[in-house]
Chains A and B, each alone.
Chain A
Amino acid sequence: MTAPPALEVERLCAWYGAAQILYDVTFTVGRGEVVTLMGHNGAGKSTTMKAIMGLLPRRSGVVRLYGRDLSARKPFQIARLGVGFTPEDRRIFSDLTVLENLDVARQPPRLFDDGTPAPAWTPDALFRLFPNLAEMRHRPGGRMSGGEQQMLTIARTLMGNPLIVLLDEPSEGIAPVIVDEIANTILELKKQGLSILLSEQNVGFAELVSDRVYMLQKGQIRWSGPMPELAANAEVQSSYLTG
């Protein structure tokens, strides 16, 4: 019997009110793999992540984390099983300082399904990963730049010692220097065995970090393949990403 993948999504559908947003989205993310959801604004990338996280009022389909069914669970239970979520709009607690933001997300260390320990994070370890944050540990989240907030939201997610991180458009609206830093962080996390589901519109950034790509359009997966294949395929890029 083969080990189950880190994340398995099967026939995921989701609705906002009466409008259906996702149609039978199916994909997997392996352990230590970086998988990127790509597509236009409104293609359903963020909705897929929110649906995995249990944040939508109405959804159907199956989501499994290392074989464990997440479909009927509440967001906090999904988080406690080891799914980390960094939302597109970052949602930093602006009243709380950097350290306090990290503390809110603190969870006990956990193991992978084969019994090996998953990376366990402390504020100090995260400050080594993001040296910028170390210098502003007592600054309220509301008084940080967009890039700093993006780093904080990733650091905050890592405080929960996740097995997989859902990273929604981390490069959006951020200075290029910081984008590079985030790309390095993703590779570092991958090296430690974490799985990452990334959503991205920018092929350049996706190319730096991704193993495989799923292309979404109007809530459906229209193309999938290894990253190098997409990078080489101008036709797929132009039909789903530009214009």
Chain B
Amino acid sequence: MHLEGLVFQALDGLASASGLFFVAAGLSLIFGVTRIVNIAHGSFYMLGAYIAVTLATAIGGAVGFWGGILATAVIVGIVGALIEIVLLRRIYVAPELFQLLATFALVLVISDATLWLWGPEDLFGPRAPGLRGAVEILGRRLPTYDAFLIAIGPVVLCLLHLALSRTRFGRLIRAATEDREMVGALGVNQSVLFTAVFALGAALAGFGGALQAAREPANLGMDLTAISDAFVVVVVGGMGSIAGSYVAAVLIAEVKAVCIGIGLVQFAGLSFNFSKLTLVAEFLVMAIVLVVRPRGLMGRQQVAIRSVAEPDAPIRPATKTAALFGVAVLVVLAALPLLARSSPYTLVLGVDVLIAVLFAASLHFIMGPGGMHSFGHAAYFGLGAYGAALAVQWFAAPMGVALVAAPLLAAAGALLFGYFAVRLSGVYLAMLTLAFAQIVWSIVFQWQEITGGSNGVLGIWPTPPFDKLSAYFLLTLVLVACGVLLLRRMLFAPFGYAMRAGRDSPLRAEAIGIDVKRIHWLGFAIAGAMCGVAGGLFAFAKGSISPETISIGRSIDGLVMVLLGGIQTLSGPIVGASVFAVLQDYVMRETPYWHALLGGIILVLVLAFPGGLAGGALDLARRLRRP
């Protein structure tokens, strides 16, 4: 390893930091003013790359390239403004979780729209006219375009800083970030301000994507990569701080670049390849920063957002009728192998539904009673599935052992991630859990020797007597029923009371001697373990497991299930998961644009019930009572 090589990698890191900074800065601006975490911000970045390539190829030459980049920023800004006007404006008063879900739905819709418009192939853009050469640095050649990217990050940072401090628009943004209601009372039209800020943020992301298109091809995976990177950057830099975003973007890009630069290291007879660390490097940086400075490098205490939602009614143990109904459902399910002897597909679907139920119930456990809105529950599902699959693959473990390994690995992961997650709340927690899930996915995807990379692990079949579908169905039923009942029982134990107390009023709970963080951490681990069981069952049900099945989409599926059923009730996740799994099974066979359809359904739900499903029902009841 030479010093020159390291410096060279560092320069490369600076070049990629610029694109990351643009996305993060836009995300941060929008959050500051509107308090909405725009998960679709990575989608704007992706749109920027596609549009820039299209314009550059269609128009051609320097005008097509450079003019195209500017035009792209404008176009994406307009798309952002339209989305704000049509969708977000209606949900500023909705619960935070619904806002996140709505922007998530946008990710799905934009992703499928991009697929429809540009097709599944990667799109290569032309190289930058006028900057095709290279500059010689330390005996190596740095592409001129990279040098340009290195320069443009700080330039835009300075421009943004000037705009925020020297223009009235900037002053309004800063004022609204502190107290948007007061800004309104002083005569400023918030709707216009919000739309303008959203357009500016979207334009920044589109600009970043457009610039990046000359360096790497536009592809359909860019949106999620960009958003999870941007989340990490914003959390590390401090939400709402533009300068913090730049510092964090540089820091993370540099750590990654240096990992590649160091490469293979031999030490005391062991060799370790640092370049493998690139996908986890940002996580490590984030973990360290959050431990030392929970609000990020340059973040400040955010003004508490006044909650407009009514407090949840406390959950109650099941009534006798409800318990009887539950038993009846279990009996019917236990008899299902006999009832459905003529259609084996019913049992396949039944296993899917049961696994979804446990998955959703475990997520509901931390989201509802725990108040921790995890956006990365797929991580524990994946750890469980891979825990089981790898136990079979590498240790030839029998199924019983593998099904124990599943929750153990998932719980270990949940303990590790939960340690950091419970220190945060609200959107920070959502972002952090999402980033963790992306990291699990990345590790699985990249650690080819162990996990089989993108192919996954194949040939994970149940051992006799469970190789028969009916037996496996019953096994699943028993495990899922026990899991759900156990989670339920825990909520009515002192532990569950403590968890709910910690959710409702952390200060008062601590004052009566409850260690809220520890309780929530434990709850997080329990939910992780239960989710791991679901993952293990899934691996054996499908006979294989691949990174695709544990991607971000599964986390979203879980959220939709929980919200569909209603977060305030204990039976909610069970109903929601069942409806969702059956619906998915049916619709997925009908259309390749399943994601867009799902996104559309979520958007309709969110727009129709901006106060949440339960809130919507309450509203309806109130309206019916009043003539």
B181 proximity list for chain A (CB < 8 A)? 55, 75
B190 touches A76 (CB 8 A): yes
B187: Cβ under 8 A from any A Cβ = yes
A53 proximity list for chain B (CB < 8 A)? 185
Least CB distance, B388 to chain A, in whole angstroms: 48
B504: Cβ under 8 A from any A Cβ = no
Give Cα A106–Cα B172 distance, bound, in whole angstroms: 11
A103 proximity list for chain B (CB < 8 A)? 168, 171
Give Cα A212–Cα B168 distance, bound, in whole angstroms: 39
B478: Cβ under 8 A from any A Cβ = no
Number of A residues with CB within 8 Å of any CB on chain B: 26
Least CB distance, A165 to chain B, in whole angstroms: 12
A143 proximity list for chain B (CB < 8 A)? none
Q: A17-B310, A75-B181, A91-B179 are in contact. Are A105 and B186 (CB under 8 A)?
A: yes
Interface of B is mostly: helix
A85 proximity list for chain B (CB < 8 A)? 185-186
A80: Cβ under 8 A from any B Cβ = yes
A156: Cβ under 8 A from any B Cβ = yes
**Chain A window 81-95, contacts with chain B (Cβ cutoff 8 Å), 1 for yes, 0 for no:** 000010100010111
Least CB distance, A191 to chain B, in whole angstroms: 24
B182: Cβ under 8 A from any A Cβ = yes
Q: A93-B178, A95-B174 are in contact. Are A105 and B184 (CB under 8 A)?
A: no
Give Cα A96–Cα B168 distance, bound, in whole angstroms: 12
A76 proximity list for chain B (CB < 8 A)? 184-190
Give Cα A101–Cα B179 distance, bound, in whole angstroms: 12
Least CB distance, A169 to chain B, in whole angstroms: 16
Least CB distance, B307 to chain A, in whole angstroms: 11
Least CB distance, A86 to chain B, in whole angstroms: 10
B424: Cβ under 8 A from any A Cβ = no
A57: Cβ under 8 A from any B Cβ = yes
A74 proximity list for chain B (CB < 8 A)? 184
| Residue of chain B at shortest CB distance from A50 | B185
Least CB distance, B514 to chain A, in whole angstroms: 27
A44: Cβ under 8 A from any B Cβ = no
B171 proximity list for chain A (CB < 8 A)? 96, 100, 103-104
Residue among A55, A75, A79, A85 with max Cβ neighbours from chain B (10 Å): A75
Contact among A80, A87, A93, A94 with B187 in the assembled complex (CB-CB below 8 Å):
A80
A219: Cβ under 8 A from any B Cβ = no
Q: A76-B188, A93-B178 are in contact. Are A104 and B310 (CB under 8 A)?
A: no
In the complex, how many residue pairs between chain A and chain B have their CB atoms under 8 Å apart? 62
| Residue of chain A at shortest CB distance from B177 | A95
A160: Cβ under 8 A from any B Cβ = yes
B178 touches A104 (CB 8 A): no
**Chain B window 183-211, contacts with chain A (Cβ cutoff 8 Å), 1 for yes, 0 for no:** 11111111000000000000000000000
**Chain A window 48-90, contacts with chain B (Cβ cutoff 8 Å), 1 for yes, 0 for no:** 0000010101000000000000000011100110000101000
A96 proximity list for chain B (CB < 8 A)? 171, 174-175, 178
B185 proximity list for chain A (CB < 8 A)? 53, 55, 75-76, 79, 85, 87
A122 proximity list for chain B (CB < 8 A)? none
A107: Cβ under 8 A from any B Cβ = yes
**Chain B window 349-383, contacts with chain A (Cβ cutoff 8 Å), 1 for yes, 0 for no:** 00000000000000000000000000000000000
Least CB distance, B132 to chain A, in whole angstroms: 44
Give Cα A105–Cα B175 distance, bound, in whole angstroms: 10
A17 proximity list for chain B (CB < 8 A)? 310
Question: A96-B175, A160-B186 are known contacts; what are 13 more A-B pairs with Cβ within 8 Å?
Answer: A17-B310, A53-B185, A55-B181, A75-B185, A76-B187, A79-B185, A85-B186, A91-B179, A93-B174, A93-B175, A94-B178, A103-B171, A107-B187
Chain A residues with CB under 8 Å of chain B are 17, 53, 55, 57, 74-76, 79-80, 85, 87, 91, 93-96, 100-101, 103-107, 156-157, 160
What are 28 A-B pairs at a CB distance below 8 A? A17-B310, A55-B181, A55-B185, A74-B184, A75-B181, A76-B187, A76-B188, A76-B189, A79-B186, A79-B187, A85-B185, A87-B182, A87-B185, A91-B179, A95-B175, A95-B177, A96-B178, A100-B174, A100-B175, A103-B168, A104-B168, A104-B171, A104-B183, A104-B186, A104-B188, A106-B168, A107-B187, A160-B186
